[in-house]
Amino acid sequence: MLYVIGLGLADERDITLRGLEAVKACSRVYLEAYTSILLVPKEQLEAFYGKAVIVADRDMVETESDAILEGAKDIDVAFLVVGDPFGATTHTDLLLRARALGIPSRVIHNASIMNAIGACGLQLYNFGQAVSLVFFTDNWKPDSFYDRVKENADLGMHTLVLLDIKVKEQSEENLARGRKIYEPPRYMSIPLAVEQLLYTESQRQQSILSPKETLAIGMSRVGSSEQRIVAGTLEELNDAEDIFGPPLHSLVIVGKRLHPLEAEYAEEWAINKAEWRRVAKQVYGCQLDQ
């Protein structure tokens, strides 16, 4: 059996009881380590699970999946995923490969950023399409995400922006020369994400994102005891470099169908509560009690 097991968001204790029982029964245990990260090292997982954990990077998952699936008709193999197994298309691909080889599979779910983002007070059913934001470079600034943000904005829906991480990545030169030399890990911060969003708005000029009149909520280390939530205008979040703490960071662009209860709940984390209420009332038309 191939088990694809969600680990939740924070540390080794977030695994479900069903997931833990499956891990303990498996002969090999892999940890997917490039679409997201846990907030603890793999050694803590190994100590808690009582199993050696093999880190599966992008190359292994995408080009060496046969090694992961080897023998899985005869033994149990676990593939651990931060968050929920279906949070990334890569994991669907692995399950399809197992199906093609006639290997039985079972998915064990867990919390992911897709539902834990509701901790900020915005209702999940008011979210539209989630988008991913990658690191811009000097000569590559992809903006296809903007179309999804606009579609959400036109419907008044909130947008969850998933921020890029770079783990075990090669520079263009090392990649071209075939050298297995990897860059240090990089994790996009909320201020950098806002900066890239506003740059894209300046290029597209469709009046979807405004520094002073678009509300947003930044969240870091969601699900952990160090979770932080910060609300404000895009301009305020852009200037709030030092208050989010270590990665991972996520960002929500607030939609115009903002409900008064959502606005009231999120106001708790506003950088400037008076400004949050002003924009919610005057720009979003949200009727808040005095």
Instruction: For 236-263, give the DSSP string.
Output: HHHT-TTSS-SSPEEEEEPPTT--HHHH
pLDDT of residue 93: 86
Q: What is the DSSP letter of 169?
A: P
pLDDT of residue 169: 66
Task: Confirm whether residue 158 is marked as ligand binding.
Answer: no
| Long-range Cβ pairs for the range 208-214 (8 Å, 24+) | 208/146, 208/149, 208/150, 208/153, 209/149, 209/234, 209/253, 210/234, 211/235, 211/238, 212/279, 213/279, 213/283, 214/253, 214/254
**pLDDT tens per residue across span 192-204:** 999 999 999 999 9
Task: Confirm whether residue 210 is marked as ligand binding.
Answer: no
Task: Confirm whether residue 50 is marked as ligand binding.
Answer: no
pLDDT of residue 237: 97
Give the chain's domains with CATH numbers. 2-111 (3.40.1010.10), 114-284 (3.30.950.10)
Task: Confirm whether residue 87 is marked as ligand binding.
Answer: yes
**pLDDT tens per residue across span 62-93:** 777 888 999 999 999 999 999 999 887 678 88
Task: Confirm whether residue 222 is marked as ligand binding.
Answer: yes
pLDDT of residue 176: 67
Task: Confirm whether residue 112 is marked as ligand binding.
Answer: yes
Q: What is the DSSP letter of 175?
A: H
Which residues, given as ranges, of the chain have pLDDT below 50?
none
Task: Confirm whether residue 249 is marked as ligand binding.
Answer: yes
Task: Confirm whether residue 232 is marked as ligand binding.
Answer: no
